[in-house]
Structure 1
Amino acid sequence: MNLGQSIMTGLVAAVGFFLTCVFVGMVFSDYLIILFMLSFFVGLIVTCTSLIIYEIGKLKEEVAQKSSSGD
């Protein structure tokens, strides 16, 4: 997974969760602001997790290249 795919995965999940919260918020309008905040934090967590997974994959590739080169 490259950086663009990682970011897009996080954004798609965040938008999907946000839309779900909007529809639920229409039914339970008293909790709409809480659902907006929750969707923001979930989107942030998903995006950060995707970036962390990307960085771990990048580190694994670097380690594999160093071990194959015999350094």
Structure 2
Amino acid sequence: MSREGFERFRQHVLEDLSLQEALRAPMEVSAFLALATRLGAEHGCHFSAEELKDIIRDARRSWLGDWV
């Protein structure tokens, strides 16, 4: 359910400029993870900071695989 929750939240972010701006603000990784999980929960999309780290890591690996 967590990846599905993240994907739903990702769609919210793509459609909401205020969410995009909030997540673009410079911050430490831990602060970004906390903010993203909090905002996700506020939009009914639940995932943990650890799950988000895994999703980011997997996306980075996929991107690198396409270019290397």
Instruction: Give the TM-score of the pair, scaled to structure 1.
Output: 0.36
Q: Which structure carries more helix by proportion?
A: 1
| Structure of higher CA gyration radius | 1
